[in-house]
Every structure is written in C-alpha cells, then in structure tokens.
Amino acid sequence: WEGAFKEAGFPAPDASPVSFSGQEMSFAWRSHFVAACIGHPDTATREAAEVKGWTLFELQGTGTEGVPEAMISMLGGTIQ
C-alpha cells in the first residue's frame, strides 16, 4: 500500500497507527483525520471514528488495484 499511496501523490502516512474501539487502522493521516485498514472495520469502529471526526477507508488486497477515489480526494492526491 505504501507504493500505491506514493503513486497517488499522498503525503506519507503517520509513523504510528491509530485505533478506534480497539481496532487498529494500519494507516493514518492525523492532519487530515483520515485512516485506513486492510479489511473491513466493524460498525463500532466506524461509529467511534465518526464521533471523533475521522473518515475510515477499507482497503483490499495489496494496493495493486489502486486507492479509492474518495480517499484520493480527501488526501489531495491525483487519480491515475
């Protein structure tokens, strides 16, 4: 995913992950209140993040299919 983020023009994710309702998000951009995890965040995790003003993204696979367009828009990247 790191390569896909770089290719999309994202800033580097924060050095440490963020957790909501006990579920760790693999990637976080605290300055944008955006986080992402590989796989599906559960409902409690989504709700806890939303209450704190965060947007969560669910990533699939290894990043070869690209970054979600909504995530690109939020993080100021470019659509390939």
Summarised one tens digit per residue, pLDDT across range 3-24 is: 888 888 888 999 999 999 999 9
Kindly report the average pLDDT of the chain as a whole number.
89
Percent of the chain exceeding pLDDT 70 equals 95
Contact 24, 13 (CB under 8 A): no
* Opening angle at CA 40, ends 44 and 43, nearest 5: 15
Nearest to 75 by CA among 20, 16, 26, 13: 13
